[in-house]
């Protein structure tokens, strides 16, 4: 760029010697400082035309060329300056990014190089519990107040004094303090010392608790997923069983329908045929109460009914003898002895008789009391 300026100045001096340009116009550097707008170029053209009005028409093209070159040089100079500014801005941004990245790396490592910063950012567990609020070395300052941070809640940024009280009383801070205190109770005596003496800092304790919480959450997530899978599997099995039962019912209906259609074609009903066979068997049995051979021919169901009748008769006889309260007879007792409808009716009759007898006795006692009271009143009046 500077070579172009020197060359332009040398050309200007040559033109002055030849008489093409007057010395009052100044060197070419002034034209470079001017704006490259159309108004400035037009003003320079008008000034040059007024000063060189006496020159010939052949000189006009040379002046126009000179003004065009001046505009080109100014625009190029402007572009070059802007590029230099952008490069300087980029360099400054890169420097700041490098500084930020170095700070982030040091913060990620959790081990500041300065021992004072190390003691501030990584204090002992007891000190962090006693003084949880602290000021970082690179804290932001707004309106003369440095933003505070918390050892228990590193993501929190406290901007005012009032926020300190609200944060210390908040539920999230209290939960973390309780969690960290429980974990600190499980530590060994060596780990409770100062970090400089080989003990554990609050940052290490916080990382330990966070890892434990992450493991617990992962275990809970796996348990929930397993339960969900088991529920889905049970639902699939139920669906398969339902489909199989539905298919079995459908096949049974079709088979029954086929049997009914075949019976209709033959003019007979299978249900009626079964009934007639049962009736025929009952007719074939000779019912003679005195003959023991007939009892052997009776079906098993009738034998059970006879046994139940004998049992209920015995129980009723015992109830009549002992005068036991019939309300103590439960449904389980009745089901246990295979009672029929007739046997239930007999039990109801016995219960009703006993109830009516009790009611009659109660009424009789009341009448006797009333009669005694009336007799006592009459005796008192006579006296």
pLDDT at res. 276: 56
Residues in the chain: 383
Residue 229, phi then psi, degrees to nearest 5:
-65, -40
Which has the closest alpha carbon to 202: 130, 106, 115, 105? 130
Cβ contacts of 200 within 8 Å, gap of 6 or more: 125, 187, 191, 192
d(CA 296, CA 286): 11
User: For tokens 């109460």, what's the residue?
Assistant: 289
Phi-psi region of 245 (alpha: psi -120 to 50; beta: other; left: phi over 0): alpha
pLDDT at res. 243: 93
Tens digit of each residue's pLDDT (9 = 90 or more) over 203-231: 888 888 888 889 888 998 999 999 999 99
Looking at the whole model, is its pTM more than 0.85? Answer: no
pLDDT at res. 129: 85
pLDDT at res. 30: 46
pLDDT under 70 in the chain at which residues?
1-2, 20-118, 268-340, 383
Structure tokens given for 107: 């913060």
pLDDT at res. 315: 67
pLDDT at res. 45: 46
pLDDT at res. 245: 93
């Amino acid at each position: 760029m500077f070579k172009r300026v020197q060359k332009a100045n040398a050309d200007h001096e040559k033109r002055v010697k030849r008489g093409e340009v007057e010395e009052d116009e100044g060197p070419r550097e002034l034209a470079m400082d001017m704006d490259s707008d159309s108004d400035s170029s037009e003003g320079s053209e008008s000034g040059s035309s007024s000063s060189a009005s006496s020159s010939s028409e052949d000189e006009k093209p040379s002046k126009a060329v000179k003004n065009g070159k001046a505009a080109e040089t100014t625009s190029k100079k402007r572009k070059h300056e802007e590029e230099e500014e952008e490069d300087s801005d980029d360099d400054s941004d890169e420097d700041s990014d490098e500084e930020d990245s170095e700070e982030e790396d040091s913060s990620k490592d959790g081990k500041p190089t300065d021992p004072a910063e190390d003691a501030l950012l990584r204090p002992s567990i007891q000190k962090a519990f006693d003084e949880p609020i602290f000021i970082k070395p690179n804290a932001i300052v707004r309106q003369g107040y440095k933003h505070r941070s918390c050892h228990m809640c590193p993501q929190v940024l406290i901007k005012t004094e009032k926020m300190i009280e609200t944060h210390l009383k908040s539920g999230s801070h209290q939960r973390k303090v309780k969690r960290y205190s429980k974990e600190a109770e499980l530590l060994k005596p060596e780990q409770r010392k100062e970090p400089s003496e080989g003990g554990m800092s609050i940052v290490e304790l916080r990382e330990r608790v966070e890892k434990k919480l992450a493991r617990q959450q992962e275990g809970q997530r796996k348990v929930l997923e397993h339960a969900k899978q088991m529920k889905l599997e049970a639902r699939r099995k139920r669906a398969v069983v339902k489909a199989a039962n539905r298919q079995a019912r459908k096949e049974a209906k079709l088979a029954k329908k086929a049997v009914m259609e075949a019976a209709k074609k033959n003019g007979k009903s299978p249900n009626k045929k079964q009934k007639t066979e049962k009736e025929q068997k009952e007719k074939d049995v000779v019912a003679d109460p005195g003959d023991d051979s007939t009892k052997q021919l009776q079906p098993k169901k009738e034998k059970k009914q006879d046994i139940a009748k004998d049992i209920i008769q015995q129980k009723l006889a015992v109830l009549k003898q002992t005068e036991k309260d019939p309300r103590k007879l439960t449904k389980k007792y009745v089901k246990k002895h295979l009672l029929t409808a007739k046997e239930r009716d007999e039990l109801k009759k016995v219960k009703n008789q006993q109830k009516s007898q009790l009611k009659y006795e109660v009424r009789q006692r009341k009448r006797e009391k009333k009669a005694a009271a009336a007799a006592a009143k009459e005796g008192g009046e006579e006296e």
